[in-house]
């Protein structure tokens, strides 16, 4: 029974840890388009980066008057950007909340302290080789639908998945424990 409780505790901790390190994507200006960003695209993004802990700005392309360009999937930016800027339309705006595991981790980077959660307000300005639309067509969605769409799976659903995984492991452990007891009784 002690092994079972220890295993449950470890599984619960893993589930919470998995949720804590998730990238949060809030689409603040949803846009309709035929072509969204993909791995391998060279894109230009305007952004404003702040620390989640105190809201202090540490960098902004807007201040320089020029968007930041890079290739998605080439490993030139933090993982939070590699993931958070995929499937995005030109003109779309997103706020990315990037946990340390998908940012700079446990190392400081200039004005960014080690272990920081970062918040980026982003705006996709262009995709190389993709014509800019003549006009930006925004989508009308409810905030709850929008949140479920942006995050892929809601927090409650993620917890339910982790609980289901834990239940399977526990079922296996109990079956193994029952088998061992049956053999001890022989």
Q: Per-residue pLDDT tens for 9-30? A: 444 444 444 444 699 999 999 9
Q: Which residue has the higher pLDDT, 99 or 11?
A: 99
Q: Which residue has the higher pLDDT, 146 or 110?
A: 110
Q: 120 has which bridge partners?
A: 49, 96
Q: What is the mean pLDDT of the chain?
A: 79
- The residue from 43, 59, 72, 127 that is catalytic is 59
Domains along the chain? 23-151 (3.10.50.40)
Contact 31, 92 (CB under 8 A): yes
- The residue from 47, 72, 112, 127 that is catalytic is 47
Position 166 confidence tier, pLDDT thresholds 50, 70, 90: low
Residue 47 appears among annotated catalytic residues: yes
Helix axes 155-185, 2-20, angle to 10 degrees: 160
Residue 120 appears among annotated catalytic residues: yes
What are the structure tokens assigned to 140, written together? Answer: 């009308």
- The mean per-residue pLDDT over the stretch 97-125 comes to 97
Q: Is the pLDDT confidence value at 2 over 80?
A: no
- The residue from 72, 90, 120, 127 that is catalytic is 120
Q: Which residue has the higher pLDDT, 149 or 93?
A: 93
CA 116 to chain CA mean position, Å: 15
Residue 2 appears among annotated catalytic residues: no
Contact 116, 104 (CB under 8 A): yes
| CA dist., res. 94 & res. 24, Å (int) | 10
- The residue from 22, 26, 58, 68 that is catalytic is 58
pLDDT for position 135: 84
- The residue from 78, 90, 112, 127 that is catalytic is 78
Position 174 confidence tier, pLDDT thresholds 50, 70, 90: low
Q: Is the pLDDT confidence value at 151 over 60?
A: no
> pLDDT > 90: what percent of the chain?
59
pLDDT for position 139: 79
Q: What is the CA radius of gyration of the chain?
A: 22
Place of tokens 């202090």: 56
How far lies 86's CA from each of 18, 133, 153, in Å?
A: 21, 18, 16
Residue 70 appears among annotated catalytic residues: no
pLDDT for position 138: 87
Residue 62 appears among annotated catalytic residues: no
Comparing 7-16, 31-40, 75-84, the range with the smallest average pLDDT is 7-16
pLDDT for position 137: 86
- Backbone φ, ψ for residue 120 (5° rounding): -120, 125
Residue 58 appears among annotated catalytic residues: yes
Task: Give whichever of 14-28, 126-140, 160-174 has the largest mean pLDDT.
Answer: 126-140
Rounded (10°) CA dihedral 73, 18, 165, 10: 140
pLDDT for position 162: 60
């Amino acid at each position: 029974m002690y092994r079972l409780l220890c295993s449950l505790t470890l599984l619960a901790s893993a589930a919470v840890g998995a949720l804590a390190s998730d990238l949060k994507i809030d689409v603040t200006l949803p846009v309709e388009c035929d072509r969204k960003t993909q791995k391998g695209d060279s894109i230009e993004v305007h952004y404003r980066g702040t620390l989640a802990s105190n809201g202090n700005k540490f960098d902004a392309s807007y201040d320089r008057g020029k968007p930041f360009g890079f290739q998605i999937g080439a490993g030139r930016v933090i993982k939070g950007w590699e993931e958070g800027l995929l499937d995005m339309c030109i003109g779309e705006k997103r706020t990315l909340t990037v946990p340390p595991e998908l940012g700079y981790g446990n190392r400081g980077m200039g004005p960014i302290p080690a272990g920081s959660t970062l918040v980026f307000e982003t705006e996709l300005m262009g995709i190389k080789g993709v014509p800019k639309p003549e006009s930006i067509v925004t989508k009308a969605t409810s905030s709850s639908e929008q949140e479920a769409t942006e995050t892929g799976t809601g927090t409650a659903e993620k917890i339910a998945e982790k609980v289901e995984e834990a239940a399977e492991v526990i079922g296996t452990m109990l079956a193994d424990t029952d088998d061992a007891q049956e053999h001890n009784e022989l």
